[in-house]
Each structure stands twice: as structure tokens, then as C-alpha cells.
Amino acid sequence: MAKLQPVRGTHDLIGHEARAHIALTEAARAVADRYGYSPIATPIFEFTDVFQRTLGDTSDIVKKEMYTFEDKGGDSLTLRPEGTAGVARAFISGGLRNELPLKCFYAGPMFRYERPQKGRLRQFHQIGAELIGVPEPTGDVEIIALGADILDALGILTETTLELNTLGDLPSRLAYRGALVDYFTGHADALSEESRERLTRNPLRILDSKDPGDRAVINDAPVFDDYLSGDARAFFKSVRAGLDTLGIAYELNPRLVRGLDYYSHTAFEFTTEALGAQGTVLAGGRYDGLIETMGGPATPGVGWAAGIERLAMMLRDPDVAVRPVVLVGMGDDGEREAMHLARELRCAGLTIDLQYKGGLKRGLRRANRINAAAAVLIGADELLRGAVTVRDLDSGEQVDVVITDLTDHLAAYR
């Protein structure tokens, strides 16, 4: 802490950046509203157990990325690294089992102790949606459609690719996992060091390895399709058919593996080339076993999360801030009247920027800088007549306006 600087991997949101985040979140929320998804806000920290148990002891998040600390009461707490576990916990502790299906949308900060780089921060923000209590593939289709429509509302759907895979049901996955471990163990000496580690942690990940040596071994590895149960295969087929019906394009990616243990069946990611190494923009899947694992009633769920910073990087200058009208008062009487009028006009729904101090020149210069549409000049001459001067800052034209007509006159600038 030599100099006053933000904690590594955190970032201040200032000005148009802050505005862009809010606009983006609200645009997404509006789409979620139309899908009937209600807002939910869970705490940004939970008992460590909530994440440890649900994400799986072998996941990177639990192993090295959690912000965990002990509070003054001696409880181990963790800043949430993702949103689903908290929602699931709220579902259980709030006794919402009679409210099914539960459809919710959230937005807020997440925390992961990672090495930061572009598109990856220690505190970042996500929007997310969860659909709890719907075991049918229709639920998967809806949740994916919601994600696609939000990306579309933001104008970036066409720059993304929807990748789709199935992780099968639990029996299928365990059988396949076992087959993979057997196979790769037999070829362990040919595997990279990293993949040998993955063998115990998450064997499915080996399939996604970029190591050339690994690729050769992977080519002859068992194929998941051979281990998929009939039910799991039928489920996946329904999901694909639903997406086809809605005209949502996707690419099958058999190597798409989710990092968190609680996923099953459908896994999907909207990815882009535009963001470098961090290509995943919106990702999720089905988590049928999660709530039961946490000690709740067996309840299926499906959902996704998207990184707001990553989405924001894909938007092109969405600065659509309203152009204000600037009020410039001159002299004591003028400044007092400006303050008074500012409040009246704001209450009337206009966006008003009050010039607090300084003369006309400075007021106009500042008006120009903040891209104001018009300036209202309030000085002694005008006040004697009960009027003000309204200057259009684009044309430079000025007109005298009686104060009682000002609100109506400025309607053109709202």
C-alpha cells in the first residue's frame, strides 16, 4: 500500500463507465421481466460451507479462488464467487418450495482471488438468471432463450456463438468418468503434467487440453455418447429440438465442460472472439442435484450468469446520457433565481445542470463541455422584466422567455 491505489483486481466505475454498467443491467432486467423472472438479491457473503459443499472440493474456485475470512464471532464466511449457490441457499432457508417454479434474476458483485487480466477481475459483476423447480427440457430452452434475448437487446448476439453440450445425468457421467480415468491412466506417461493432475481432479477437462501430446491421446479416448443413458440422450435431444423451434443457432461442443461440480445435463456458453482469452460471455447449465446436496428438498434447477464487464467491453459507446440544460445565474439575484428555477424545472422532469459559481463566460464554457443542449441566462436585465434568456447551444440563437413560460419553452430540450 505504498500509494493510494485500489486493491489488485478491483476497479472504480466512474462516469460513463458506471452509467454503461447500470444501463446494461437495466436492459437485461427489462428482458427478464418480460420472461416473468423476478428480482432477487442475496447477501454478497455466506457461510463458507455454502460454497465449499456446492462447488465441489476439487474445483479451482474452492481450492484457490475464494475470499474466505473469519468474522468476530468465529464463523468462516466467504465472499460469493458466483451467484447460484446463494440463490439455492435462499430457496432452502426461505422455505420457497411451495413457490415453484421459482424464476429469478440477479445482478451484483462477485469475488474471486485470481490473477487479474483483461476481462478478469477479483471483484467483478454478474447478471444471472435461475429457473428452479422445472425438470423439463423446456426449462433449459427458456433459460437459454432468455440469455440470447438479453444479448440481442444489447446488440451483441450476432458477435457470439452458442456452444452446447450435455454432461448427462449422474449415472451416465460417473460411468463415463470412470472409463476416462481408466483410459487416461493407461496412457498417463504420454500425458502432460497438467493433464495428469486433472486425472484426479476433473478428468473431463483433459478432453479440452491444448497440449499437442495430449491431443493424440485424446483422439482415441472413449466417447461420452457411448455412455449416455437413454433418458439423458432423450433429454438433450429435446433441448436441441426446442432451440431449433425458436430458431436459436448453436454449435455442439462435446469438449464443453463446466468447472463446477453441480452441473448435469445441459451445459452451454455464449462465447466471442472479441475478448481475447476470456471468450466466455454468458454461461450456465442445469444443476439438478445442487439443492438436495445442500440439504434441501430434491429440486431441479437451470440457470446462467454473465459477466457485466465482459459484456460492457463488447458494447460500442452506448453513451446515451440526456443532454442537460444549463442554468447560469449572474449576480446575487441571478444566482438565487437560478437555484430556484433549477428545482422547479427538475421537478417538471427536465435535466438541469446548475452553474454554481462564476460568470457567464465560464458558465457557457462549462455548458459546452458537458454537451448541454441549451443555456438559460439569468441576469439583472432579464429579471427586471420577469424574463430569462434561453440560448440554444447548437444554433447559438437566443430568445427572451418570460419566466412563467420557461417550463413550456424548454420542453423542446427534454
> What is the smallest separation between the CB atom of 100 and RNA, expressed in angstroms?
24
The nearer residue to RNA, 237 or 385, going by C-beta atoms, is 385
The answer for residues whose C-beta is within 8 angstroms of residue 27's C-beta and 6 or more apart is 150, 153, 154
CB of 17 to RNA, least distance (A): 13
By beta-carbon proximity to RNA, the closer residue of 237 and 365 is 365
The H or E element spanning position 40 is none
Quote the least distance from Cβ 243 to RNA, whole Å.
Answer: 19
Helices 137-153 and 230-246 sit at what angle, rounded to 10 degrees? 40
Q: What's the min distance (Å) between Cβ of 365 and RNA?
A: 4
What are the phi and psi torsion angles at 303 (to 5°)? -170, 180
Select 210 or 316, whichever has its Cβ closest to RNA.
210
Minimum CB–partner distance for residue 124 and RNA (Å): 4
**Min separation Cβ 82 and RNA, Å:** 5
Burial profile 269-282: b = 16 or more Cβ within 10 angstroms, e = fewer: bbbbeebeebbbbb
* Nearer CB in complex with RNA: 132/390: 390
Q: What radius of gyration, in Å, describes the C-alpha atoms of the chain? A: 28
DSSP string, 364-396: HHHHHHTT-SEEEEE-HHHHHTTEEEEEETTT-
Are the CB atoms for 351 and 411 separated by under 8 Å?
no
The CB-of-337 to RNA minimum distance in angstroms stands at 12
Q: Which is nearer to RNA, 172 or 272 (CB)?
A: 272
**Residue 280: enclosing H or E segment and its boundaries?**
strand 280-286
CB of 380 to RNA, least distance (A): 4
What count of other Cβ atoms lies within 10 Å of the Cβ of residue 401? 18
**Cell numbers describing residue 406:** 420557461
- Closer residue to RNA, CB minimum distance, 276 or 297: 276
Q: What is the distance of C-alpha 16 from the center of its chain? A: 17
- Cβ-based nearer residue to RNA, 72 or 361: 361
- Residue 161 or residue 238: which is nearer to RNA going by CB? 161
Measured distance CA(126)–CA(108) in Å, rounded: 6
Q: Are 107 and 25 in contact (CB under 8 A)?
A: yes
Q: 337: how many CB neighbours lie within 10 A of its CB?
A: 21
